[in-house]
Structure 1
Amino acid sequence: MKYIDDRTAVAGLRVLEVGCGGGILTQSLAELGAVTTGIDVASGPLKVAQLHAIETQMGEKIRYIETTAESFAEVEPESFDVVAALEMLEHVPDYRSTVWALAKLTRPGGTVFLSTINRNAKAYVMAVLGAEYVLNLLPRGTHDYDKFIKPSELASAARDAGLLVKNISGYSYNPLTRGCKLVTSPSVNYLVYAQKP
């Protein structure tokens, strides 16, 4: 969240999180003053997100919708100042189609934030073997290595969708502290910051 707010102060902006799951980022951005919408294809996590928003008295400030990015882009093109799709591109059937939809959802001058997992041996060891089999942080089978995306591939997809890639940063997750930090190398997890002209 800090990565996003440091690059685009979200207070007062219309923000969309694609693949919002339980709404942790969506709600955090709303708490910073953004007008937020979260979309996801899974109804279960969306119900949890809606309940949490109501319990924390944020229910009127956040909108949750069960849909795909592609379908939502047809309904609300160029409607958002900030669009975020974090840790979900490696789970969709066609990440290029999703990136096109994200660009379509973004207003001219708006920003797009993406994060995913690099496709290389180190990422396989860390994200699949380490997270799923050794540390049991995620259920086995959560990730499909063939769907991991190299930074150059994601940057190319963003450019093809009409976005200007401003920055690619690596980040690492510490399972002991449950914290993330930016790192110089995008060798495993990485973030992309792009702008729509």
Structure 2
Amino acid sequence: MSETTLNADPQELAKFGELAHRWWDPDGEFRPLHQINPLRLDWIAGLAKLPGADVLDVGCGGGILAESMARRGARVLGIDLSTKPLKVAQLHALETGVENLSYREVAVEQLASERPASFDVVTCMEMLEHVPEPASVVRACAQLVKPGGRVFFSTLNRNPKAFLFAIVGAEHVLGLLPKGTHEYARFIKPSELARYGRDAGLEIDQMKGMEYNPLTRRYWLSARTDVNYLLACRRPA
């Protein structure tokens, strides 16, 4: 990717921008994010020390994960390229009085050139499947984390089951997500994401799947990575 090319899809940015005002409605379009956030947060906190840590949340959107990590005692910077969700995140942080939390509209690649090896923890959740060059984002995350630090990703596997569950089921049948939220061709196989991480100099630490029961409306982490999955990496010290 050239320095002048932005690794973002304008249609994706606009799509989330139009829904920005609904970000903090736990019963709205982003309900799944609210429901899975405790799982993501506890998983991250179980592998990385959050209190007192410098944390970067890449593709932070309206700030659900960023704000929850700040509440756990981390100093958090959330970045995104969609203006409206960032404004919603900033406003919500002001309204709730969360400390040690700031936001910035900047590309992760640009921030990596400005502040290499600056963060103890870097998170990039539900974002890689929305950008043209996910490997570029992974490289930038690897550059931003300090030696010995942790990088966390989550995304969607690319296979028929993921298409059925994440697009047909979640968007069209159950209405868990707005139609058009995901594009199947941009889903990423775990082997591909692990390769991106290794190519960026990261060590692959742990992989978890995330499952959902539509009858009980319950999410949980498991060993099954065939739909949603999370990947923990470490930058060698």
User: Partners of 1:14 and 1:119 in 2: how far apart?
Assistant: 32
Q: Could you say if the C-alpha distance between residues 20 and 179 of structure 1 is closer, same or farther in structure 2, counting changes exceeding 3 Å?
A: farther
Superposed CA offset, 1:102-154 (max 9, x none): 00010000000000000000000000001111111212111111100000000
Aligned residues: 196
Aligned to 2:90: 50
User: Partners of 2:179 and 2:64 in 1: how far apart?
Assistant: 23
How far residue 173 of structure 1 moved from its aligned partner, in angstroms, is 3.3
3-state SS of paired residue (1:72): helix
TM-score (norm 2): 0.80
Amino acid at match of 1:173: Y
How far residue 74 of structure 1 moved from its aligned partner, in angstroms, is 1.2
Aligned to 2:230: 191
User: Partners of 1:135 and 1:39 in 2: how far apart?
Assistant: 30
How far residue 188 of structure 1 moved from its aligned partner, in angstroms, is 0.3
Q: Could you say if the C-alpha distance between residues 33 and 120 of structure 1 is closer, same or farther in structure 2, counting changes exceeding 3 Å?
A: same
Amino acid at match of 2:191: S
2:71 to 14, 25, 31: 31
Off by >2 Å, runs of 4+ in structure 1: 173-180
How far residue 183 of structure 1 moved from its aligned partner, in angstroms, is 1.1
User: Partners of 2:216 and 2:152 in 1: how far apart?
Assistant: 24
3-state SS of paired residue (1:25): helix
User: Partners of 1:18 and 1:36 in 2: how far apart?
Assistant: 11
In structure 1, stretches of 5+ residues that fail to align are none
3-state SS of paired residue (2:151): strand
1:75 to 114, 122, 128: 114
Aligned to 1:112: 151
3-state SS of paired residue (2:188): coil
**Structure 1, 42-51 or 171-180: larger mean CA deviation:** 171-180
Find out whether 1:144 has 2:183 as its counterpart. Answer: yes
Q: Could you say if the C-alpha distance between residues 179 and 18 of structure 1 is closer, same or farther in structure 2, counting changes exceeding 3 Å?
A: farther
Q: Could you say if the C-alpha distance between residues 54 and 176 of structure 1 is closer, same or farther in structure 2, counting changes exceeding 3 Å?
A: farther
User: Partners of 1:36 and 1:111 in 2: how far apart?
Assistant: 14
2:164 to 119, 125, 129: 125
Find out whether 1:21 has 2:61 as its counterpart. Answer: yes
Superposed CA offset, 1:167-195 (max 9, x none): 11111134566543111110000000000
User: Partners of 1:177 and 1:26 in 2: how far apart?
Assistant: 27
**Structure 1, 129-138 or 34-43: larger mean CA deviation:** 129-138
3-state SS of paired residue (1:119): coil
3-state SS of paired residue (1:187): coil
Superposed CA offset, 1:49-83 (max 9, x none): 1011001111x411100111111111111110000
User: Partners of 2:72 and 2:153 in 1: how far apart?
Assistant: 20
- In angstroms, what is the RMSD of aligned CA positions? 1.2
User: Partners of 2:66 and 2:217 in 1: how far apart?
Assistant: 19
Aligned to 1:101: 140
Structure with higher strand content: 1
User: Partners of 2:106 and 2:216 in 1: how far apart?
Assistant: 33
TM-score (norm 1): 0.96
In structure 2, stretches of 5+ residues that fail to align are 1-40
3-state SS of paired residue (1:52): helix
User: Partners of 1:117 and 1:160 in 2: how far apart?
Assistant: 20
User: Partners of 1:96 and 1:183 in 2: how far apart?
Assistant: 25
Find out whether 1:2 has 2:42 as its counterpart. Answer: yes
